[in-house]
Structure 1
Amino acid sequence: MNPDIQRKILEFETFVNDVLKEDLAQLEQKLNVKNADIAEFLELKATITTFKNNGLDKNGFKTQVDIGQNFFIEAQVSDASTILLDIGLGHYLELSIDDAVAVINVRVKLLEQQIKHFRKEIARTNAHIKLILLGIRELQGFDDKM
Structure 2
Amino acid sequence: MSFKSSYPSVEKVADQSVHPIVEKCETFINEQLKNDLKIIHLRQENIHVQLNNFQDLKSFILELTNNSFGCSSIKTQIDIGNNFYMRCTIPNTEKITIFIGLGFYLELSLQEALNFIDKRSIFLNSCIDKLSDQGRKVKAHIKVILDTLSYIQEIGDSGEKRDC
Output the amino acid matched with 1:107: R
Q: Does structure 1 retain, via aligned residues, the 8 Å contact 2:77–2:85?
A: no
Q: Does structure 1 retain, via aligned residues, the 8 Å contact 2:76–2:88?
A: yes
Following TM superposition, by how much is the alpha carbon of 1:90 offset from its aligned partner in structure 2, in angstroms?
1.2
Give 1 or 2: higher helix fraction: 1
Q: Measured at CA, do residues 19 and 134 of structure 1 come closer, stay the same or move farther in structure 2, by a change above 3 Å?
A: same
Counterpart of 1:28 in structure 2 is 41
Q: Does structure 2 retain, via aligned residues, the 8 Å contact 1:58–1:81?
A: no
Q: Does structure 2 retain, via aligned residues, the 8 Å contact 1:60–1:77?
A: yes
Query: Counterparts of 1:128 and 1:94 in 2: how far apart (Å)?
Result: 46
Per-residue Cα deviation, 1:48-104 (whole angstroms, up to 9, x for no partner) = 1111111168442112456789584x4332320100011111111111000000001
Q: Does structure 1 retain, via aligned residues, the 8 Å contact 2:72–2:94?
A: no
Counterpart of 1:117 in structure 2 is 130
Output the amino acid matched with 1:18: E
Unmatched tracts of structure 1, length 5 or more: none
Output the aligned Cα RMSD: 2.5
Q: Indicate which of 54, 61, 71 corresponds to 1:48.
A: 61
Query: Counterparts of 1:59 and 1:138 in 2: how far apart (Å)?
Result: 72
List structure 1 runs of 4+ shifted beyond 3 angstroms.
Answer: 56-59, 64-72
